[in-house]
Amino acid sequence: MSYVEQFDGLSRDSPQSRGISPQSIIDFLEDGKASGVEFHSFMLYSKGAVVAEAWWDPYRADLRHMMHSATKSFLSVAVGMAIQEGHFSLQSKVMSIFPEYLQAVKETNSSSEMAELLTVEDLLTQTSGHATGSSGAVWRNVSTSWIEQFFKIPIVHKPGTFFKYSSAPSYLLSAIIHRTTGQSTKSFLMPRLFQPLGMTGVTWDVGPEDINPGGNGISCRSSDLLKLAILHLQGGVWQGQRLLSEEWVASATRSQRGNDYGYQWWMGNDNSYYAYGVFGQFAYVSPQFETVLVITSAVPPGEEQLRALIGRHFPRMLSSQNQIPSSVNGSLKRYLSGVHIEFPTQSELPEKIDEALERLFVARANVDGVEAFTLGAEKNKYIFNLWDARGLHRVDIGLESWLESETTISLPSLHHSYDASEMLVATRGNWLSPNVFEITLQFIHTAFQDRITICLGESQTVILQRSVNVNSLATQRPPIVAYALERGSGTSAGLRITDRVNAARQLPQFDSIIMARVFPYSTQCTSIDDLLDNEETKAAVMAQLGNVVSASQLGKGGPYTLRTFAVYVPEISLGVLDKLDVVLAKIVYPWY
């Protein structure tokens, strides 16, 4: 029995035993790599057994991965089970469950009559009547009642008649479970789903009023997501025990109300269906071939590359293959055992590397509140320290291989607004050139890979850049300019960091730091807020987009990039954004 099989309890077999060519699996993964998909895990289950699986180093089978909106398909199970137990029904009126909000709805929402029509099934099918979707990235910044937040959203269409994908209805479903059962959705599912399926260590974020978000927030192993899909493939039965009614599974996994959506499951081709989370978590179920494909990955919002990849190969790769050579399976095993996250090649170490180490870099005032940072060295690793308003954050950096540790350095604005006090991270450091050191931080419970780049300039100037591989918001932060203190006046000077920073900022030479252009503005990486905050970039944006959208309308999407915003504004074409990028690339960042 393999190490993975021991903790997930699923049977293993070869792909050719199920009529699947091992080469077709290699072709699928190679096509994904060529298409820009950064795989984190892959599991293929067919007719009772896992037939292929892999985790890209430093990801591992025993680690949880944040599932984002794939959480909604777990929520679907909770709603179905709560209905089975009589806590409410599909036709239960939402306002009858939350009657205390009716008056507030009447006072703040001109569509109060529509709100009184809203049912549980309307929420399940994403036909709540809302004209716009709500992202969890926005709600995570709301500290007051999320139930109240839901009822503030105008209901423009009659419930049940208009589809708009959103995390807001899913959140309210979780709140309904919390209200009617007296338990959080996670607690409700623990003895009913997680324990029977052997899903250990599942975590679920908690919002205001101790309510799980419903539409997002679950972190679990890839095998747990696979088990959820297998449960539905088997009609709600697990190891001979019925957990979910056959009728519920059938309804949840078929098109509802004429949309490509069931009960918190998406519909695919050929009666297939799938759970899906932003940045590339998929559990794709093909009842025709009795097969489930599970992937966790990192791809930009929209997941076009991954969706297209799955469409090209699945379920075609499952079609019967005759006389598959056994030697090909050996090639597949070798291929899967060697997969890993790509990493840049190490350049030669700078001749004056010691001059960059153990010095205190004091930052000029910046929007992220970074006060100072240092780069130090120990045996076989570097150490990066950063001070900001939250305190000191340390990152241990591997040089020859990934180094795994805990860190507090994550930045919510780069991580879809998730704010974790501490995160598991695998790191590697690399000198890109004699004066540029880059730290790669792979947050291995998530899709996020951060890059921290330290650029050593002239006259004691240092520039710090922070960026991320995928995000719904901007993928890069404004660069931070810092002044490098002489060795001996840094971390070992015996003064508190705030005193050293304040003293450095009083030096005459501090204001004469040489400025340099680090990276250009763009519609892909820069937030709308940053674009509108500068007169030159604002003028460029309005010159290209002013005929279809106003500055005030753009401001509503402030933390997002124009590329993300354009998804919700069809009038903004990608061709126009491409032209805008050419203009923005010529505008120098205004140092502050």
**pLDDT at residue 326, rounded to an integer:** 56
**pLDDT at residue 137, rounded to an integer:** 73
In a domain, 173, yes or no: yes
Q: Which of 223, 134, 117, 224 is nearest to 171 (CA)?
A: 134
**pLDDT at residue 491, rounded to an integer:** 45
In a domain, 29, yes or no: no
**Largest distance between two CA atoms of the chain:** 78
pLDDT (average), residues 287-294: 97
Complete edge-to-edge strand list for the sheet that includes strand 65-66: 65-66, 218-220, 203-204
**pLDDT at residue 402, rounded to an integer:** 95
Q: Same structural domain for residues 457 and 540?
A: no
Q: Same structural domain for residues 401 and 540?
A: no
Is residue 470 scored above 90 in pLDDT? yes
**pLDDT at residue 489, rounded to an integer:** 52
In a domain, 413, yes or no: yes
| Calpha distance 369→465 (Å, rounded) | 14
Confidence of residue 450 (pLDDT cuts 50, 70, 90): very high
Tokens representing 456? 């050593």
- What are 543-556's pLDDT values in tens digits? 999 988 998 889 87
pLDDT (average), residues 364-389: 91
pLDDT (average), residues 92-111: 84
**Encoded amino acid at 197, one letter:** L
* Stated pTM of the model: 0.91
Answer with the one of 163, 198, 220 that is the final residue of a domain: 220
Count of other CB atoms within 10 angstroms of residue 94: 25
The CA–CA distances, whole Å, from 236 to 8, 70, 200, 249 equal 18, 18, 20, 6
Note every long-range contact of 8-13, with CB atoms under 8 Å and residues 24 or more positions apart, other chains counting.
8/61, 8/198, 8/221, 8/223, 8/224, 8/226, 8/227, 9/198, 10/45, 10/49, 10/50, 10/223, 10/226, 10/227, 11/48, 11/49, 11/50, 12/49, 12/50, 12/51, 13/48, 13/49, 13/50, 13/51
In a domain, 21, yes or no: no
**pLDDT at residue 493, rounded to an integer:** 43
**pLDDT at residue 329, rounded to an integer:** 67
Least confident of 153-157, 245-249, 335-339: 153-157
Q: Same structural domain for residues 566 and 452?
A: no
Give the residue with greater pLDDT, 135 vs 166.
Answer: 166
Calculate the average pLDDT of the chain.
Answer: 89
**pLDDT at residue 81, rounded to an integer:** 98
Q: Same structural domain for residues 364 and 489?
A: yes
Answer with the one of 512, 540, 557 that is the final residue of a domain: 512
Least confident of 236-245, 259-268, 404-413: 404-413
Is residue 196 scored above 80 in pLDDT? yes
Q: Same structural domain for residues 114 and 200?
A: yes
Q: Report CA 351 to chain centroid distance, whole Å.
A: 39
**pLDDT at residue 56, rounded to an integer:** 98
Least confident of 218-222, 288-292, 487-491: 487-491
**pLDDT at residue 231, rounded to an integer:** 98
Q: Same structural domain for residues 502 and 539?
A: no
Residues with Cβ within 8 Å of residue 171, at least 6 apart in sequence: 139, 146, 150, 207, 211, 213, 214, 215
**pLDDT at residue 84, rounded to an integer:** 97
pLDDT (average), residues 223-241: 98
| Calpha distance 264→302 (Å, rounded) | 17
| Calpha distance 139→97 (Å, rounded) | 22
Is residue 592 scored above 50 in pLDDT? no
Q: Where are the beta strands (DSSP E) in 31-104?
A: 38-46, 49-55, 65-66
Q: Which of 384, 429, 431 is nearest to 407 (CA)?
A: 384
| Calpha distance 193→81 (Å, rounded) | 9
3-state secondary structure of 167: coil
Give the residue with greater pLDDT, 83 vs 489.
Answer: 83
DSSP-assigned beta bridge partners for residue 430: 438
Tokens representing 270? 């050929």
In a domain, 260, yes or no: no
* Residue in the block written with tokens 């759970």: 275
Q: Same structural domain for residues 480 and 386?
A: yes
Q: How many residues does the chain have?
A: 592
| Calpha distance 504→535 (Å, rounded) | 31
Q: Same structural domain for residues 449 and 497?
A: yes
The CA–CA distances, whole Å, from 244 to 10, 103, 188, 285 equal 20, 37, 14, 17
- What are 115-150's pLDDT values in tens digits? 899 999 999 999 999 988 888 777 787 778 899 889
Least confident of 14-23, 220-229, 418-427, 525-534: 525-534
Confidence of residue 276 (pLDDT cuts 50, 70, 90): very high
Q: Same structural domain for residues 433 and 578?
A: no
* Residue in the block written with tokens 């699996």: 25
Q: Which of 139, 120, 127, 19 is nearest to 75 (CA)?
A: 120
The CA–CA distances, whole Å, from 579 to 22, 541, 590 equal 44, 10, 22
Tokens representing 65? 């991965």
In a domain, 104, yes or no: yes
Q: Which of 541, 491, 542 is nearest to 362 (CA)?
A: 491
Answer with the one of 220, 238, 269 that is the final residue of a domain: 220
Is residue 406 scored above 60 in pLDDT? yes
Q: What percent of the chain has pLDDT over 90?
A: 62
- What are 481-520's pLDDT values in tens digits? 898 887 655 444 445 888 888 888 888 877 766 554 456 7
Total domains, the chain: 3
Q: Same structural domain for residues 450 and 553?
A: no
Rounding to the nearest 10 degrees, give the CA dihedral for residues 30, 439, 297, 37: -40
Give the residue with greater pLDDT, 492 vs 479.
Answer: 479
In a domain, 160, yes or no: yes
DSSP-assigned beta bridge partners for residue 455: 436, 463
Q: Same structural domain for residues 389 and 495?
A: yes
Whether 213 contacts 52, CB under 8 Å: no
Q: Same structural domain for residues 393 and 469?
A: yes
Domain interval for residue 567: 528-584
In a domain, 563, yes or no: yes
**pLDDT at residue 325, rounded to an integer:** 58
- The CATH number of whichever domain residue 193 belongs to comes to 3.40.710.10
Confidence of residue 380 (pLDDT cuts 50, 70, 90): confident
